[in-house]
């Protein structure tokens, strides 16, 4: 955990353009945005990937889903739409092994993905 870049952001040891933070989650602007709105939403608890979620984390991840809605409202994409992405593991190009959701919007998304 001491080496995790997202844990360092949560603790304030690394700078980030934080959009929202509370006791359970932190949301900040991606440093390499792929759209006008590109926010990373992370749990403040270090969990490496979706595959590491434990039964006791169920309430936290329900809270994260309601936080996605809050992020969409704060960034103004709740009506036009947004994409929610969670990369899990090397084949999905997960670069930071701390669960994070990409909230991407502000433009029409391309399809298909993959």
User: Listing from the earlier edge strand, what are the strands of the sheet with 101-105?
Assistant: 18-21, 25-29, 37-43, 101-105, 82-85
- Whether 65 contacts 77, CB under 8 Å: no
Spot the catalytic one: 38, 98, 100, 102.
100
Kindly state the helix (H) or strand (E) to which residue 86 belongs, with its residue range: none
CA atoms of 34 and 37, how far apart (whole Å): 8
Q: Is the dihedral of CA 86, 80, 68, 2 positive or negative?
A: positive
Active site residue 111: no
Which positions are annotated as active-site residues?
100
């Amino acid at each position: 955990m001491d080496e995790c870049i997202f844990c360092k952001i949560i603790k304030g040891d690394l700078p980030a353009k934080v959009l929202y933070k509370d006791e359970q989650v932190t949301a900040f602007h991606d440093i390499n945005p792929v759209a006008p709105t590109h926010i990373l939403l992370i749990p403040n608890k270090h969990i490496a990937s979706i595959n590491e979620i434990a039964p006791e984390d169920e309430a936290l991840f329900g809270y994260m889903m309601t936080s996605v809605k809050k992020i969409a409202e704060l960034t103004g994409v709740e009506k036009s739409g947004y994409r929610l992405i969670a990369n899990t593991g090397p084949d999905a190009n997960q670069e930071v092994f701390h669960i994070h959701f990409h909230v991407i919007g502000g433009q029409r998304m391309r399809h298909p993905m993959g």
